[in-house]
A = this chain, B = another copy of it.
Amino acid sequence: MPARNTDSPAPRKRADAERNKQALLEAAAAAFVDAGVNAPVRDIAARAGVGLGTIYRHFPARADLIVAVYRHQVQACAEAAPALLATSPTPHDALTAWVDLFVDFLITKHGLAEAMHSDAAAFEPLHAYFLEHLIPAVTLLLDAAVTAGEITPIDPLTLLRGIGNLCIGADPRYDPRPLTTILIKGLRT
């Protein structure tokens, strides 16, 4: 067995492959901004100056591309939870602030919330990725608020789903924030 210890069993990718992957990520990010996360795969490929085969080599399904594009932002969102809890006057304030943050993230990604709830198996990775990272974040905030006696207990997944659902809507004139605010208000004891 080769003496590779802990890091990178990487078979070392070809230079052009890595270059194309980056071009694809940038093209996808741009396409998502212009046309929402439902931007046709062909458009993304064209933007990146790449063939259809290439896009599917790097990202087996559409959802993988979406995950790759938003990975950093989801992580940032998750990491904001403990920070907010530490700096906010009360756990409920932290929760409110975090929800605002999450809503801001969602509404700027037209179609992301919709895609999250698609029944298509292809979007399962997306769904799983979001939950895996965000459930711990909301759980932390909710537990703190419950312990402080500020809110009644609620399943974190349910809340996350509710907020996500409220952010669905192609219409850019639609602002879900009044609704999310009411929802959070409804949690108070």
The residues of A with any CB-CB pair to B shorter than 8 Å are 114, 117-119, 154-155, 158, 161-162, 165-166, 168-171, 174, 176, 178-179, 181-187
Q: In the bound complex, do residue B179 and residue A162 qualify as a contact, i.e. CB atoms below 8 Å apart?
A: yes
Residue of B119, B168, B183, B185 touching A179 (CB-CB under 8 A): B183
CB distance from A122 to the nearest CB of B (A): 13
Q: Which of B119, B154, B165, B182 contacts A165 (CB 8 A)?
A: B165
Instruction: Give the oligomeric copy count.
Output: 2
- Please indicate the chain B residues that have their CB under 8 angstroms from the CB of A166 in the complex: 162, 165-166
Q: Check A161 against B169 for contact (C-beta < 8 Å).
A: yes
Complex Cα distance A33/B33, Å? 36
Q: Judging by beta carbons under 8 Å apart, are A117 and B170 in contact?
A: yes
A174→B155 CA distance, assembly (Å): 12
What separation, in Å, do the CA atoms of A182 and B183 have in the docked complex?
Answer: 6
For A119, what are the chain B residues with a Cβ–Cβ distance below 8 Å? 170-171
A127 to chain B: closest CB distance in Å?
Answer: 10
Q: Which residues of B contact A187 (CB under 8 A)?
A: 182, 186
Closest to A169 in B: B117
- A185's partner among B174, B176, B178, B186 (CB-CB below 8 A) is B186
Rank and list the top 10 A-B pairs by shortest CB-CB distance, nearest first: A186-B186, A119-B170, A182-B186, A185-B186, A162-B179, A165-B165, A165-B166, A165-B168, A183-B183, A117-B169
**A186 contacts which chain B residues (CB < 8 A)?**
181-187
Is A158 a contact of B184 with CB atoms below 8 Å? Answer: no
